[in-house]
Amino acid sequence: MVNLKDIVQKLDLKVVSGDINREVSAGYASDLLSDVIANAQKDNIWITLQTHVNIVAVANLQELAGIILVNGRQPEQATLKKAEQENIPILLTELSTFEIVGKLYELGIHGNKMSSA
Amino acid sequence: MKLIEIKEILEAEVVSGEYDPEIEIEIGCSSDLMSEILAFGKPGSILLTSLMNIQVINTANVADIKAVCFVMGKIPDENIINLAKKNDIIVFITKFTTFESCGRLYKNGLKSCSYLNFEK
Amino acid sequence: MDNNKRTTTKIQELTYELKVKDVMTKDVETVSPKMPVNFLRDVLQNKRISGVPVVNDNEFVGLISIEDFIKCLEQGKMDDLIEDRMTKNIKTLYADEPLVHAVVKFEKFGFGRFPVISRKDKKLVGIITKSDIIKGVLKKLETAYHDEEERRYRASHIFNDIIADEVFLKFQYYVEGKNFDKAGEASTGLKKTLYRLGLSPEIVRRAAISTYEAEINVVAFTDGGIIVAYVEPHQIKIVITDKGPGIPNIENAMKPGFSTAPEWVRELGFGAGMGLPNIKKFADKMTLRSKVGKGTHLEIIVKLSNYRDED
């Protein structure tokens, strides 16, 4: 478990919503909501470039630790409002998915183990 | 980084037939939205994605992306493999997630698209 | 003089692009440290080489040269072991280093050759001399020159041999609506065609990406359309037309992230409102006209590189 606050600090992420005082179990990177619903796990940090309001619902459903929006993307107004309501941390970075995942990996956050079908 | 090294790091399998293990790939990119790859993918890079349909191969083709890696143990169907072969695109499959795959490659020195954007 | 300058820059580029392993000699004759110097007689004579790497279990341990050999001969010490007469602590190069490192080392140390070892396990994989570098660079220059010549020939051939006031080649593709399995066939076909015409990869890539995004739009939103590409001496013009439903608000449609795409399009990896912005990004000029109920007319222009600077 790595603290989200540490991650924010070390990777210079911009926090736009939610309480970042929580633990991260592992990471999940995907831009397909159905895929995240199927495969993300509790306390994952989710890396995506999707910005619409549905991401908050997905994060809530899966009890994710937070969402990192990549490549300089900004959340939509509705997304931000909902994220504040639901206390879901949304964090911003200028980096691409590949690079921010790489840096998270270096901080000791790994991917979920998949029970291969 | 050589294709053969990528294959080892991702414990991956190449499903697009014969390939030159010495081919150098310098850059990694990852997204499940193909427009993002079209906009930011760099020629000669490897694309990691959990999306699986022939548009992934078409995207790689028009954007001059050399290799595609499908994640989480999903196996591409014949149409996808044949289209990749026809267009000289190398297709990997790995059991790891996108996150784990990107992390491993980055840790071993593969550069990212955004890294190069900043250098410009 | 300009030409000279260009060649110099090209060679400099190549010394960064090429790796030591690309030009080195791979099948290297080696000797073992426990052999007597006398053994070198045949090696040096038969192979006409002036120095031999000494290798112990694949590990590079030193270099023995023709001078070392002659010294032994003069001193009557031909039964000495190679390891006692060889030069140790030799400077080496890694196989994956850019060629420019080798050039710098040759200048700095004035040696005639460097053993090349692999970074991973430090094993000897080859040897590099100055003449290897020159040969490697020349070969690469020649290939690059041929590629360029061929490309120029193929494109100019068509435009130069035809006598007319205006020349353009026209390629037409039909796009089926709602059929995602066939989406991309037109743009990848156009890409291959443009490449075969000898246009530069960068131009082809930009034309292909913008056409592909447009094709995806036709498939996702309409019942089908037509893509026509006109290749002219100075530009590629691609016209994409369909018969509806049309775009109600073009200004919105151009906003990155704005999308009216149905869920099935999104799950296929598109429809995130990046298509039209991407076309704009890769085209030199883009014109979009649309009438609800009538259809959409999109025109993309990609200028050919040698004409681009003049604008």
How does pLDDT run across B54-81, given as a tens digit for each residue? 999 999 999 999 999 999 999 999 999 9
User: Which of B28, B63, B27, B31 lies closest to B50, judged by CA?
Assistant: B31
| pLDDT reading at B5 higher than 90 | yes
pLDDT of amino acid C166: 85
Q: Under DSSP, is residue A15 helix (H, G, I), strand (E, B) or coil?
A: strand
C8: closest CA of chain B, how far (Å): 23
pLDDT band with cut points at 50, 70 and 90 for residue C310: very low
Distances (CA, A) of A112 to A39, A98, B103, C117: 9, 16, 12, 39
- Tell me the domains of chain B and their CATH numbers: 3-119 (3.40.1390.20)
The answer, for C112 touching chain B at a CB cutoff of 8 Å, is: no
**Contacts of C208 by beta carbon, 8 Å cutoff, 6+ apart:** B61, B62, B63, C187, C188, C190, C191, C194
Task: Identify which of B35, B56, B58 has the shortest CB distance to residue C188.
Answer: B58
Chain C contact partners (≥3 CB pairs within 8 A): A, B
C6: closest CA of chain A, how far (Å): 36
| pLDDT reading at C1 higher than 50 | no
pLDDT band with cut points at 50, 70 and 90 for residue B48: very high
Note whether A50 contacts C267, CB cutoff 8 Å: no
Task: Give the separation between CA C169 and CA C186, rounded to whole angstroms.
Answer: 16
Tell me the pLDDT tens digit for each residue of A56-96: 999 999 999 999 999 999 999 999 999 999 999 999 999 99
Amino acid at B58: N
Annotate C14-68 with three-state secondary structure.
HHHHCEHHHHCECCCCCECCCCEHHHHHHHHHHHCCCEEEEEECCEEEEEEEHHH
pLDDT of amino acid A116: 47
| pLDDT reading at B17 higher than 90 | no
Chain A contact partners (≥3 CB pairs within 8 A): B, C
pLDDT of amino acid C138: 87
Written as six digits, the tokens of C213 are: 């995004």
Task: Identify which of B38, B51, B54 has the shortest CB distance to residue C213.
Answer: B38
| pLDDT reading at B35 higher than 60 | yes
ipTM score over 0.90, yes or no: yes
Written as six digits, the tokens of C77 are: 């010490």
pLDDT of amino acid C219: 95
pLDDT band with cut points at 50, 70 and 90 for residue C150: low
∠ CA B62-B64-B67, rounded to 5°:
115
pLDDT of amino acid B119: 37
C-beta separation of A69 from A93 below 8 A: yes
Strands (E), chain C: 51-56, 59-65, 93-94, 113-117, 124-129, 169-176, 224-231, 235-242, 285-291, 295-303
- Tell me the domains of chain C and their CATH numbers: 2-136 (3.10.580.10), 169-308 (3.30.565.10)
B109: closest CA of chain A, how far (Å): 10
Mean pLDDT lowest for which of B37-51, C40-54, C172-186, C200-214? C40-54
Q: Output C35 or C175, whichever has higher pLDDT.
A: C175
C-beta separation of A60 from A73 below 8 A: no
Note whether B53 contacts C268, CB cutoff 8 Å: yes
Phi, psi of C7 (to 5 degrees): -65, -45
| pLDDT reading at C90 higher than 50 | yes
| pLDDT reading at C309 higher than 60 | no
| pLDDT reading at B31 higher than 70 | yes
Mean pLDDT lowest for which of A100-109, C67-76, C145-154, C255-264? C145-154
pLDDT of amino acid C251: 94
Average pLDDT, chain B: 92
The answer, for A36 touching chain B at a CB cutoff of 8 Å, is: no
Note whether A51 contacts C267, CB cutoff 8 Å: no
pLDDT of amino acid C307: 45
> Per-residue b/e over B37-74, b at no fewer than 16 CB within 10 Å?
bbbbbbeebbbbbbbbbbbbbbbbbbbbbbbbbbbbee
pLDDT of amino acid C153: 58
A-interface mutation test, from C255, C259, C267, most A Cβ less than 10 A away: C267
Neighboring chain C residues of B61 at a CB cutoff of 8 Å: 184, 188, 191, 208
pLDDT band with cut points at 50, 70 and 90 for residue B116: very low
Mean pLDDT of C279-304: 96
Mean pLDDT lowest for which of B86-100, C4-18, C211-225? C4-18
User: Which of C166, C296, C289, C165 lies closest to C223, judged by CA?
Assistant: C296
Longest dimension (CA), chain C: 100
**Contacts of C4 by beta carbon, 8 Å cutoff, 6+ apart:** none
pLDDT of amino acid B86: 94
pLDDT band with cut points at 50, 70 and 90 for residue B83: very high
- Tell me the domains of chain A and their CATH numbers: 2-106 (3.40.1390.20)
In sequence order, what are the beta bridge partners of C54? Answer: C31, C62
Tell me the pLDDT tens digit for each residue of A18-58: 999 999 999 999 999 989 999 999 999 999 999 989 999 99
Mean pLDDT of B102-115: 89
The answer, for A101 touching chain B at a CB cutoff of 8 Å, is: yes
pLDDT of amino acid C38: 87
Mean pLDDT of C67-94: 88
pLDDT of amino acid A90: 98
Mean pLDDT lowest for which of A6-15, A27-36, C154-163, C287-296? C154-163
User: Which of B106, B91, B112, B108 lies closest to B12, judged by CA?
Assistant: B91
Please report the DSSP string for C189-223 in residue order.
HHHHHHHHTT--HHHHHHHHHHHHHHHHHHHHHSS
pLDDT of amino acid C311: 36
pLDDT of amino acid C100: 87
